[in-house]
A and B are shown apart, each in its own frame.
Chain A
Amino acid sequence: MTTTLAPSTDRASRPTGIPGPSPRGRKPRPVGGLVGSVALWAYAAGALVPLVLMVLNSFRTTADLYNKPLSMPWPPSVDSYKVAWTEGHFGDYFLNSLLVTVGAVALSTAVSTMAAYALARTRSRIFSVLESVFVSGLMLPIHLAILPVFYLLDGMRLVDSRLGLMLVYAAAGVPFSVFVLTTFFRQLPPELEEAATIDGANTWQTFVRIMVPLVRPAVATVVVFRFVPIWNDFLFPLVLLRSREKYTVPVGLTSFFGEYSTNWSALFAGLVIATVPLILLFLVATKQIVAGLTAGMSK
């Protein structure tokens, strides 16, 4: 495992013999100067314009899209949202996605926090074996097990159910969540628990009242970071769900694109509806997302 966030400073230690001019006082200049800045903002525009077009086009009528493809949507029309939300059943899809995602993230985070605490605080062979079992899950491409997952859920009468989907996502999130949370629990001093024990708290009380509040930032990171891939996932609901009223947003989107292939503004509205929760999440938790992504990358 390479930890990307902390490149080993020992190897990069100062070569001896070079007279060290103090870099302090003089600010290192950015690479590229003004041209660099322009390039960076230009690329930012390139990254955002397609998404902006998606939003703008959802507020236009399909006739406008065809006749004036490059004009602004004025006055904005919300008809396409009405079509998508009701006729296109996005109301249902949205609720299903929310239910499955929130349920899976909650379950996954709860069991992973418990497990991570135990793994961080016990020193015995069996626990280090268990830890490597969990962490090895980071390398397993779970989508390749879709057939056995299908038959497993079939045997449990959980095919075409939101609960089945939720359980699969919750389990798939365990490796990452355990990995991040264990690291955080290890950083907490054991004296905290000793003090709690002296005060008469049992292990469970210590965990819930003292330890969990202390790792709240890590829990937030795990929650945000798991929310995104579950909300976005396509293969599991495509295979595991049958009835339209149980579809999550990505599968619902696919059937909507099949049915409404000529109603362009409604299609754009569908795409926006599918994306709104992520944008909201992003606005409230950018810091957590960035932290989560870097934590995920250091594996």
Chain B
Amino acid sequence: MTRRSGLFFVAPALILFGIFVLYPMASALSYAFFSWQGTARGGFAGLDNFHALFTQEPFRSQLPRAFGHNLAFFAGTMVVQNTLGLGIAVLLHRRPRTRRALQTLYAMPYLVSPIVIGYLWTLLLSPTFGPVNALLRQVGLGSLAVPWLGDPDTALWVVILVSAWQWVGFPVLLYGAALGGVPEELSEAARVDGASHWQTFRSIVFPLLVPAIGTVSVLTFIFAMEAFALPYALGGSTGNPAGATDFMSLLFYRTAFENGSTNAIGVSSAMATLLFLVIFGGAVIATRVLRRTEERIAG
């Protein structure tokens, strides 16, 4: 293919991508460094918008709280995926006949929109109508039938567990693929040398899963930092009850589109920039740590 026809083939995708992705991404960063009067751009503001995030209310109190929830969300989903997800993948391994069917069943929840999942669990967990509490009462555990999403102590846990429930099939699939790549001869050889199942898993299989664990971690991190639809459906745009399920993206959405302060664009763009740095920086650091770990294991 000649260079000219090559450019002709690339052009449509490049134009579309440039206009609707690259240009807005670049603008999002630049917006943060100006002061805004409604939709009119004012002068260069330096780091004033960022400063406002940490000194002005409501951001001063809501930003750390929301960020903390994002981190808890990340930690919670990570724990579930690497215990339940990995455990299921190990159990599925060497069950070729049932594996396909079960992987398919496990995949169902993550095809469903997070907004649907959020509303579904709102209905299921409702204190008056909800079948979950009805079931608890039926089996004599009525004391556990609490207003799950109405209590600030339980609401964040519900968000974390619902999300983990929705996504667990994803690491199952990924770890399944990684386990399939572990040569059978290796574990057989270890077994012959007298290693127990657990020893074989720890010293032979687990190190070979490190790249997969890294991929799951990075994707979970990005996903946890961006979470929007699920918390929106479960707790509304203000993170009910009492901000217990507030997340960075909800705060960003409120600041940009609901608060109506004059410098909304400037401050919310600063927030987006910060979040972008966290996501990007986190992904880069994780990838680097991962590569080092892989090298050490391969060592």
Interfacial residues, chain A to chain B (CB-CB below 8 A): 2, 4-7, 9, 11-12, 14-15, 18-21, 23, 28-32, 36-37, 39-41, 43-44, 46-48, 50-51, 53-54, 57, 65-66, 69-70, 107-108, 110-112, 114-115, 117-119, 121-122, 124, 126-127, 130, 133-134, 137, 139-149, 151-152, 167-168, 170-172, 174-175, 178, 193, 203-204, 207, 228, 231-235, 239, 249-250, 253-254, 257, 264, 267-268, 271, 274-275, 278-279, 281-282, 286, 289-290, 293-294, 297-298
Contacts of A264 in B (CB 8 A): 123, 129
Q: Is B3 an interface residue (CB 8 A)?
A: yes
Interfacial residues, chain B to chain A (CB-CB below 8 A): 1-3, 5-10, 12-14, 16-17, 19-25, 27-28, 31, 39, 84, 88, 90-95, 98, 102-109, 111-116, 119-121, 123-124, 128-131, 134-135, 138, 165, 168-170, 173-174, 177-178, 181-189, 192-193, 197, 208, 211-212, 214-215, 219, 222, 225-226, 228-229, 232-233, 249, 252-253, 256-257, 265, 268-269, 272, 275-276, 279-280, 283, 290, 298
Q: Are B111 and A40 in contact (CB under 8 A)?
A: no
Q: Are A70 and B17 in contact (CB under 8 A)?
A: no
| 11 interchain pairs, CB-CB under 8 A | A4-B212, A5-B177, A7-B208, A15-B189, A69-B134, A117-B9, A130-B14, A141-B275, A144-B275, A148-B28, A250-B229
Contacts of B106 in A (CB 8 A): 43-44, 47
Partner of A50, one of B88, B124, B181: B124
Contacts of A152 in B (CB 8 A): 19-20, 23-24, 27
Contacts of B229 in A (CB 8 A): 232, 234-235, 250
B33 to chain A, nearest CB (A): 13
Partner of B114, one of A232, A268, A281, A282: A232
Complex Cα–Cα for A147 and B8 (A): 31
B44 to chain A, nearest CB (A): 17
Partner of B119, one of A144, A204, A271: A271
A209 to chain B, nearest CB (A): 15
Nearest chain A residue, comparing its CB with the CB of B275: A144
Contacts of A293 in B (CB 8 A): 107, 170, 173
Q: Are B279 and A141 in contact (CB under 8 A)?
A: yes
Known interface pairs A250-B115, A278-B112; 8 further A-B residue pairs with C-beta atoms within 8 A, sorted by A's residue number: A32-B90, A43-B88, A121-B1, A122-B1, A151-B27, A178-B13, A203-B2, A233-B113
If A43-B106, A115-B14, A274-B116 touch, whether A69 touches B27 (CB-CB below 8 Å) is no
Partner of A4, one of B2, B16, B23, B215: B215
Q: Are B120 and A271 in contact (CB under 8 A)?
A: yes
Complex Cα–Cα for A268 and B120 (A): 7
B294 to chain A, nearest CB (A): 8
Q: Are B211 and A2 in contact (CB under 8 A)?
A: yes
